[in-house]
Amino acid sequence: MPKVSVILPTYNGEKYIREAIDSIINQTFTDWELIVVNDCSTDSTITIINEYERKDSRIKVINNPYNQKLPKSLNIGFSSAEGEYLTWTSDDNIFLPSALDEMNSFLDQNPNKIMVRARYTIIDENGNYLYEPDGYDSETVFVNNCIGACFLYRRDVLSKVGEYNAEKYLVEDYDYWLRILFEYKEIGSLDAVIYKYRIHCSSLTATRKKEIHNKLLKLRMEYINHIIENLENRKDLLCEIYYEFKQANMLSENLNMIFHDIIPELNFDCEVIENRPSIVYGAGLYGEKAYKKYAEIISYFADKNKYGSLIHNRAIISLTELQKIYNDYQILVAASPHNVYSFLCTLNQINIRKCTVLIFDNE
């Protein structure tokens, strides 16, 4: 029986699947099985994976009778897995040689941890380095899938958490990580880059970005009670979720009240007065968006870093100047949902407790 089972679902993955499989064959840790689940590919994928199956007894191919998409393909693969530790990868991504070894050792040495994730880099279609995503944070994970694409978990997860949810296509991984966190409370994290995640013109991440974002919001709404419970001491993160929900018109009256009770600063936010002279707090990207929408009523911009210059012939004033004149103007907060809470707190520090947080369509 293998120690580690790796599931590799694929659909028309001929371009990169050799690299993906070779990266597993080249692992320094050798006690693994690879289960490739072919989801009715119409290109040469089946020929490639059959070739690998013939050459290496650790590799098994399962051919779906009809296209079932990623979540069901994962469940099909895991139902055949025999390993003590489990993971899955994509047909366009790459494990670095020590990946399974390092994650296996972590779980062996930390019996109290149900799962471990590791750092990874983003590469382009030619394998060139693009960037490294932000690291894992046990609280930020509830607003951002910072677990990432490189992970290993114990078989116990299958019985306690269950299968991947076929209804959560495009966010099936994040849904699973949240369910693991709700069940086990914590996971481990390795401070080592041991995986490469590829972004290319055909990848789901690139082609369905807006759809994925909308599904992530619906997922957070489904688990909002759990998320609030886990983030009761992180008003900044809850504020981010609040304004993402507000931007998507997803706030019920009851949920709106719950957020306002938890985050008193939300009570600063009031409706915009269309004809009142205004100062836009925020002179960056969102300040530009504010100008496009409210140019006729904007008298000034305010920014703690950019004051002393002009935007569209409007002076950028300091927060000290803002504090002196704010009674004569309406304050429009121009910030991303991620930054709104810090903007509200800054206004509170200079005794400004009435403003309008601008909501922009998600682009």
Same domain membership, residue 16 and residue 129: yes
* DSSP 8-state code for residue 312: T
Query: Which residues form the domain of 305?
Result: 268-357
- The answer to whether residue 211 is domain-embedded is no
The C-alpha atoms of residue 135 and residue 118 are separated, in whole angstroms, by 9
Q: What is the CATH number of the domain that holds 19?
A: 3.90.550.10
Edge-to-edge, what's the strand order for the sheet holding 310-311?
A: 310-311, 314-317, 298-302, 278-281, 330-333, 356-357
Task: Dump pLDDT digits (tens) for 30-50.
Answer: 999 999 999 999 999 999 999
Same domain membership, residue 158 and residue 244: no
Domain count of the fold of the chain = 3
Same domain for 186 and 249, yes or no, is no
pTM: 0.90
Q: Give just the sign of the alpha carbon dihedral 157, 160, 163, 167.
A: negative
Report if residue 230 sits inside a domain: yes
| Same domain for 65 and 28 | yes
Q: Could you give the 3-state DSSP secondary structure of residue 40?
A: coil
Note the helical H segments in the chain: 17-25, 45-55, 69-79, 99-109, 156-160, 172-184, 204-207, 209-222, 224-230, 235-247, 253-262, 285-294, 319-325, 340-349
Per-residue pLDDT of the chain (363 residues; tens, 9 = 90+): 999 999 999 999 999 999 999 999 999 999 999 999 999 999 999 999 999 999 999 999 999 999 999 999 999 999 999 999 999 999 999 999 999 999 999 999 999 999 999 999 999 999 999 999 989 999 999 999 999 999 999 999 999 999 999 999 999 999 999 999 999 999 999 999 999 999 988 666 656 888 999 999 999 999 999 999 999 999 999 999 999 999 999 999 999 999 999 999 999 999 999 899 999 999 999 999 999 999 999 999 999 999 999 999 999 999 999 999 999 999 999 999 999 999 999 999 999 999 999 998 765
| 187 plus 312 within the same structural domain | no
- Under 8 Å CB-to-CB from 220, ≥6 apart: which residues? 142, 143, 227, 241, 244, 245
Of 234, 342, 220, whose CA–CA distance to 281 is shortest? 342
Burial of 65 (0-12, 13-18, 19+ CB in 10 A): exposed
Residues 9 and 99 occupy one common structural domain: yes
Q: Decide if 289 is inside a domain.
A: yes
| Separation in Å, CA 144 to CA 179, 246, 361 | 14, 17, 20
